[in-house]
Amino acid sequence: MTQALTGIQFTGVGKSLPQRVLTNDQLATVVETSDEWIHSRTGIRERRVLGPTENLLDLALAASEQALCQAGLTALDLDLVILATSTPEDLFGSASRVAARLGAVRAVAFDLTAACTGFVFAVGTAAQFLRTGCYRTALVVAADGLTRWLDWQDRNTCVLFGDGAGAMVLEACPVDQLLGLELRSDGRGADMLTLPTTGETVALMADLAVRNQQYAPIYMNGRDVYRFAVREVPVVIEKALHRAQLRSDQVDCYVLHQANQRILDAVAERLQVPPDRFATTLDRYANTSAASVPITLCEGWESGQIRSGSVLVMAGFGAGLTWGALVCRWGRVSP
């Protein structure tokens, strides 16, 4: 008798960053700041930035190809592609373009926006399609180009962000490797971190006016977002761990959204876990929004910090407000 494929396994990860590096010292020539301030407050030393003619979808494509290759699959195997992004190249969505360029002609593709929590929300969404038996193979790709939406004179925000993409392959399997999942949102805190619309009124005719709309640069109340993250992220991780029936010390590696090293350290302290169990790429890539979790996961895999069978916590938090955590066992289940 064949077993029902109602579980999920995590079989491939990939990443892609723009070539161009922007260091803290270089930024200090643009805006009043210093390497000392940025590094001591955030852990960031440098970030990668998309050039004016570069395309975010190229990064999404490269990350996806690496993840598929590691999973031993081709794009034709994919049933579902979810692109987690707040910065699509086209406001109508970019997922179907990524799928088409990959050659994933069988897959249905759509965008999902949940800011810096986008990757975790997208994995949670893909998981539902796999668990119900609707699809067997899914690609979640997270790509963001937030440096294109910064006010480079606002030192409260412009020093924090970088661009990048990461991707992960999920496959249906009999023994579920997604051990716990908890997603949260609260729009009452939405004003803390926004990339808002701006616009002007245009009179179409004497008695009919419309609005011509654009986007303003990112605004963030850093202190409030910091307090929110340190308060809520440990709670949502504990809830996901409770669902997985695991304790915090049974997790091999924590892969959290990379916003601030001090947030990672505070969460580690609250969970009573040594800080070196928290993977970090903040120093090199800064905050790449939805992409930061899969980029950090990929580096953890490449460095050997994460192995097949490792128990992982992935967690995101950010605008919306949104936050969430999942617990999983990494790698392909042996048949």
Q: List active site positions.
A: 116, 257, 287
Residue 186 and residue 234: Cα distance in Å, rounded?
16
Considering the rule CB under 6 A, would residue 45 count as an interface residue with ligand UT7? Answer: no
Q: What sign results for the dihedral spanned by CA atoms 218, 224, 229, 235?
A: negative
Using alpha carbons, select from 319, 26, 38 the residue that is nearest to residue 159.
38
Options 48, 97, 155, 329; binder of ligand UT7; rule CB under 6 A: 155
Q: Does 50 bind ligand UT7 (CB under 6 A)?
A: no
Q: Which of 9, 42, 147, 322 binds ligand UT7 (CB under 6 A)?
A: 42
**Encoding tokens for residue 214?**
């654009």
**Strand pairing category for 197-205 and 21-23:** unpaired
CA 153/CA 159 separation, integer angstroms = 10
Work out which of 49, 75, 116, 241 binds ligand UT7, going by CB under 6 A. Answer: 116
Binding mask of the shown chain, residues 283 to 312, with x at each position contacting ligand UT7 by CB under 6 A: ----x-------------------------
Determine if residue 73 is left, alpha or beta; phi over 0 gives left, psi from -120 to 50 gives alpha, anything else beta.
beta
Residue 225 interacts with ligand UT7 (CB under 6 A)? yes
Angle subtended at Cα 246 by Cα 245 and Cα 247, rounded to the nearest 5 degrees? 135
**Residue whose entry in the numeric block shows the structure tokens 């302290």:** 269
Q: How far is the CB of 252 from ligand UT7 (least distance, A)?
A: 24
Q: Does residue number 18 form part of the binding site for ligand UT7 (CB under 6 A)?
A: no
**Between 71 and 160, CB nearer to ligand UT7:** 160
185 binds ligand UT7 (CB under 6 A): no
To the nearest 10°, the Cα dihedral for 104, 108, 111, 112?
-120
Contact code string over 72-111 relative to ligand UT7, x by CB under 6 A:
----------------------------------------
280 lies in the binding site for ligand UT7 (CB under 6 A): no
Q: Round to whole Å and give the CA distance between 183 and 194.
A: 20
Stretch that binds ligand UT7, among 31-39, 100-108, 206-214, 303-311 (CB under 6 A): 31-39
Bridge partners (DSSP) listed for residue 81? 109, 139
41 contributes a contact to ligand UT7 by CB under 6 A: yes
Among 7, 43, 164, 318, binds ligand UT7 (CB under 6 A): 318
The answer to whether the bond into 321 is cis (omega within 30° of 0) is yes
Token duo for residue 173: 């399997």
Q: Which residues bind ligand UT7 (CB under 6 A)?
A: 33, 37-38, 41-42, 116, 155-156, 159, 193, 222-223, 225-226, 229, 259-260, 263, 287, 318
